[in-house]
Amino acid sequence: MKKLQLGWFATSRGTTSLKIFNYIYNAIRTNELNAEIKFVFINRELGEAENSDKFINTIQSYNIPLVSFSSLKFMPELRKRNIEEWRTLFDKEVYERIKNFDVDIVMLAGYMLILSKFLCNKFTFINLHPALPWGPKGTWQEVINQIINEKHKEHGVMIHLVTEDLDRGPVLTYCKFIIKEYDFDKIRQEGVQYELSLIKKTLQLLSEEKLKIVGREIFYNGQSITQGLEIPTEELLKI
């Protein structure tokens, strides 16, 4: 069976980006995942931050093509004045650097920028979002704060197709769990334990062509699914 050809986007502001990448890289290396990572893009350059430096050095040590292009240094005045224009111009520069890579999917994992409509339409991007398909938008901190403030009964993690509609693109997979107590750290910790295995499971399903993306529609075993495929947390803990 043909290998799933992957691109990868990260910012590596924290330590999770590298943890996720290493988990998937090792799954590929041990043949648990039938895929190949064709390139990695990071919107940082060496010397900007400790975590991104570690990420860059690690990717280079794996001999995976790395595209490093700093969003911090790109037209900072325009970014303050007109973020939408800045975002499109930045993404056009990114596209010029990655357009020759032939990939099926580009995984966003710890990528802290919002993609422009321009770039969304150039590749098929999927994103890890720490919420249920019908849950809050935003960063994981914003999501958890909203869950606590609104006293949600359940929480989860999803993988969705990236569109110009922030955190609301068609859902590939998700998992959910009951919130036992409204404690910020405990909610975060429970969600995190499923993130790596949900990414791996999703990529496995894509590589096996059980899960398919056709335009902006998601299919599982040939059937269109509108709310994504729920993966039980018990199954994810065994992966």
Per-domain residue ranges of the chain: 1-123, 129-239
Residue 140 has pLDDT above 90, yes or no: no
CB 129 within 8 A of CB 167: yes
Tell me: domain 1-123, CATH 3.30.565.10, correct?
no
Res 165 pLDDT > 80: no
**What is the per-residue burial (b if ≥16 Cβ within 10 Å, else e) of 209-237?**
eebebeeeebeeeeeebeebbbbebeebe
**Phi and psi at residue 137, in whole multiples of 5°?**
-90, 170
pLDDT for 1 equals: 75
Residue 224 pLDDT grade (very low, low, confident, very high; cuts 50, 70, 90): very high
Name the CATH code of domain 129-239 (choices 3.40.50.150, 3.40.50.970, 3.40.50.170, 3.40.50.300): 3.40.50.170
Q: Judge whether residue 144 has pLDDT over 90.
A: yes
Q: 85, 67, 86, 68: which is closest to 76 by C-alpha?
A: 86
Domains 1-123 and 129-239 are alike in CATH topology: yes
Integer Cα distance of 12 and 103 in angstroms: 22
Mean pLDDT comparison of 137-141, 163-167, 172-176, highest-scoring range: 172-176
Say yes or no to pLDDT of 85 above 80: yes
Rounded to an integer, what distance in angstroms lies between the CA atom of residue 158 and that of residue 199? 9
Residue-wise pLDDT tens digits, 88-126: 999 999 999 999 999 999 999 989 999 999 999 999 999
The answer on pLDDT for 149 being more than 90 is yes
